[in-house]
């Protein structure tokens, strides 16, 4: 069992009590992690406030060097960190290793943003009011940041908060998910070894209620949260006086048109996007909309692809679908499957659990009002349905309170452009599933999927504000 302290402004301390972290796979205790209470969180907030000026004054080159050194340290400890992710999250080993690589990319992109900050010059002489004047605009740090991160990407989604914050020159108080605090603490240690000033970061595992009280704290200029729709918008109501960035849930749709000539490839991608990591991603494929002309062919291929997904022990290199994060979520997912079947949905594959693992599950003809198609499953399940026209597919993909990403399998450029125009999402992915993401890209959603964008360059904008100099 690992023992980990929390990080308070450069010091590793025990906190008020301890959090026992259990493996989702077999329930054993894998780590004992220090947990901070209100007093520790208050000290963290005070430190962030006191150090804001000094952190903002760090030269861009210094910020970039810290991030580059952190990246190198992270990659040097890849096996150790991936093993912690497997233990705490139950994420399959291959995907955990990939997450370390992705976090390294996130830090590299953040370093690039820090090293090459944008300075915009404008000649104001085109208007009578600006005659003879030139304006220069730069970005300056917003101030202390409160960050709250989820269990499902316990390293990379933390890197998406901390990397841009370092690039921007903002101190951070981070509350990681209680199920998976280890990766965040590993990243904090890497940042510290890279030379991050003591006051720039506190990582405080804590009870949700204790951390949420800080959402109303005026000392924080920005609240950045990744997690559920309900909690995210609840925090937004509490933090209405400050800037808020929310990366929330989804029930992503993929559309398959009859002109796509490699249905086997589409089926493999859809199965991976729906069932890898037990579907515990906000951009996991949940709704599969297929044109009626190719519905039977895709159905057969998709069932075969779902049944071919390796399931079981997350420490096995071949596993792609491991355990659900906890028994409550396993039972909820099974209940949704049962509800869909009771309402008339037809089970094509899966539908049951083996211990903590829910088998990859595919259903069709599920009524629109069922949670499986109307809400966020966050589990290894997808609903297949057919459509007659592309416009119908777009309309049905939009029939959701979420709007994170969508995938469109078509070679028709006009249809791709139509999807880009019509789909109410943050990104349309052509020729692939909505689960695809490159870490430097702007990432985020509309409607119930959140506000603001992540990706280092986009998050840098969220964590800074414009300051103008006008020259005569």
pLDDT digits (tens, 9 = 90+) for 117-147: 888 999 999 998 999 999 999 999 999 999 9
DSSP 123-170: EGGGSGGGTT-EEEEEEEE---EEEE--SSSTTHHHHHHHHHHHHHT-
Which of 282, 321, 364, 462 is catalytic? The answer is 282
What's the confidence (pLDDT) of residue 142? 97
Q: Is 247 a catalytic residue?
A: yes
Q: Which of 284, 291, 452, 466 is nearest to 378 (CA)?
A: 284
Q: Taking 90 as the threshold, does the pLDDT of residue 355 lie above it?
A: yes
- pLDDT-based confidence at residue 93 (cuts at 50, 70, 90): very high
The active-site residue out of 68, 88, 99, 247 is 247
Q: Does the pLDDT of residue 211 top 80, yes or no? A: yes
Please state, for a pLDDT cut of 70, what percent of the chain lies above it. Answer: 100
pLDDT band at 65 (very low <50, low <70, confident <90, very high): very high
Is residue 170 part of the annotated active site? The answer reads: no
Q: Which residues contact 338 (CB under 8 A, 6 or more apart)?
A: none
Radius of gyration of the chain measured on its C-alpha atoms: 23
Confidence label for 241 from pLDDT (cuts 50, 70 and 90):
confident
Tell me the per-residue pLDDT of 281-290, one tens digit each, with 9 for 90 and over.
Answer: 999 999 999 9
CATH architecture of the domain formed by 2-248+449-471: 3-Layer(aba) Sandwich (3.40)
Domain ranges of the chain: 2-248+449-471, 252-439
Residue 327 banded pLDDT, cuts 50, 70, 90: very high
* CATH number for domain 252-439, candidates 3.40.309.10, 3.40.50.10310, 3.40.1350.10, 3.40.50.720: 3.40.309.10
């Amino acid at each position: 069992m690992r023992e980990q302290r929390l990080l308070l402004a450069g010091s590793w301390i025990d906190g008020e009590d301890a959090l026992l972290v259990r493996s989702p796979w077999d329930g054993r205790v894998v780590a004992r992690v220090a947990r901070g209470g209100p007093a520790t969180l208050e000290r963290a907030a005070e430190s962030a406030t006191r150090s804001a000026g000094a952190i903002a004054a760090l030269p861009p080159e210094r910020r970039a060097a810290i991030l580059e050194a952190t990246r190198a340290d992270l990659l040097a400890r890849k096996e150790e960190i991936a093993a912690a992710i497997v233990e705490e999250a139950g994420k399959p080993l291959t995907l955990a290793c990939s997450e370390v690589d992705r976090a390294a990319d996130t830090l590299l992109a953040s370093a690039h943003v820090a090293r090459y900050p944008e300075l915009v010059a404008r000649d104001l002489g085109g208007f009578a009011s600006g005659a003879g004047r030139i304006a220069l605009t730069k970005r300056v740090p917003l101030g202390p940041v409160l960050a709250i991160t989820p269990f499902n990407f316990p390293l990379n989604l933390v890197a998406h908060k901390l990397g841009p914050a370092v690039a921007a020159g903002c101190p951070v108080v981070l509350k990681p998910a209680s199920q998976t605090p280890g990766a965040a603490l590993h990243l904090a240690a890497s940042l510290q070894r890279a030379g991050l000033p003591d006051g720039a970061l506190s990582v405080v595992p804590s009870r949700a209620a204790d951390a949420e009280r800080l959402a109303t704290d005026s000392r924080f200029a920005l609240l950045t949260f990744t997690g559920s729709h309900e909690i995210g918008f609840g925090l937004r109501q509490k933090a209405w006086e400050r800037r808020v960035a929310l990366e929330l849930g989804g029930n992503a749709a993929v559309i398959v048109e009859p002109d796509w000539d490699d249905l086997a490839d589409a089926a493999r991608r859809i199965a991976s996007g729906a069932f890898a990591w037990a579907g515990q991603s906000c951009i996991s494929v949940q709704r599969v909309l297929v044109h009626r002309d190719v519905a039977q062919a895709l159905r057969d291929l998709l069932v075969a692809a779902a049944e071919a997904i390796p399931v079981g022990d997350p420490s096995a290199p071949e596993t792609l679908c491991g355990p659900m994060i906890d028994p409550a979520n396993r039972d909820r997912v099974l209940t949704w499957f049962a509800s869909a079947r009771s309402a008339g949905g037809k089970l094509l594959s899966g539908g049951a659990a083996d211990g903590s693992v829910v088998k990859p599950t595919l259903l069709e003809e599920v009524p629109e009002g069922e949670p499986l198609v109307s809400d966020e499953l966050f589990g290894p399940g997808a609903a297949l349905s057919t459509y007659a026209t592309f416009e119908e597919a777009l309309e049905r993909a939009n029939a959701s309170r979420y709007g994170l990403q969508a995938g469109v399998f078509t070679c028709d450029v006009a249809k791709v452009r139509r999807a880009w125009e019509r789909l109410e999402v943050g990104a349309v992915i052509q020729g692939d599933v909505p689960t695809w993401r490159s870490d430097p890209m702007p990432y985020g959603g509309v409607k119930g999927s959140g506000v603001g964008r992540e990706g280092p360059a986009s998050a840098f904008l969220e964590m800074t504000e414009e300051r103008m100099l006008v020259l005569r």
